[in-house]
Copies of this chain bind each other. A is one copy, B any other.
Amino acid sequence: MPVAPLSLAPRRDDVLVMKFGGTSVGDPDRIERVARHVAAAKAQGFKVCVTVSAMAGETNRLVELTERLGGGDVSRDPDYDAVVASGEQVTAGLLALHLRHKGHAARSFQGWQAGLRTDEAHGAARIAHLPQDHLMASMERGEIAVVAGFQGATKDGRISTLGRGGSDTTAVALAAALGAARCDIYTDVDGVYTTDPRMVPNAKRKPMLAYEEMLEMASVGAKVLQTRSVGLAMTYGVPVRVLSSLGEPEETGDGTLITSEEAMMEHEVVTAVVPSRGEAKISLLGVPDTPGRSAMIFRLLADAGVNVDMIVQSAARQNTQANMSFTLSEKDLHRAQEKLTLMKDAIGFDNIDFNQNVAKVSVIGIGMKSHAGVAAKMFEILAERSINIENISTSEIKISVLIEADYTELAVRALHEGFGLSGTPG
Contact = CB atoms under 8 A, between A and B. Distances in A.
B107 A93 contact: no
Contact of A77 (B82, B86, B100): B100
Interface string A52-79: 0000000000100110111100100111
A83 B79 contact: no
Contacts of A157: 113
Count copies of this chain in the complex. Answer: 2
Interface in A89-134: 89-90, 92-98, 100-101, 106-108, 110, 113
B97 A90 contact: no
Contact of A83 (B70, B83, B94, B106): B94
A28 interface: yes
Given A100-B70, A101-B69, A108 B93 contact: no
Contacts of A92: 82
B28 A101 contact: no
Contact of A31 (B69, B98, B101): B69
A158 interface: yes
A42 B57 CA distance: 36
A71 to B, nearest CB: 4
A82 B101 contact: no
Nearest to A66: B97
Contacts of A90: 62, 65, 83, 86
A80 interface: yes
A373 to B, nearest CB: 56
Nearest to A98: B69
Contacts of A83: 89-90, 93-94, 97
Interface of A: 28, 31-32, 62, 65-66, 68-71, 74, 77-80, 82-83, 86, 89-90, 92-98, 100-101, 106-108, 110, 113, 157-159
5 contacts: A28-B65, A31-B69, A66-B94, A66-B97, A86-B89
What 6 A-B pairs come out closest when comparing CB atoms? A83-B93, A86-B86, A82-B93, A70-B97, A71-B101, A69-B98
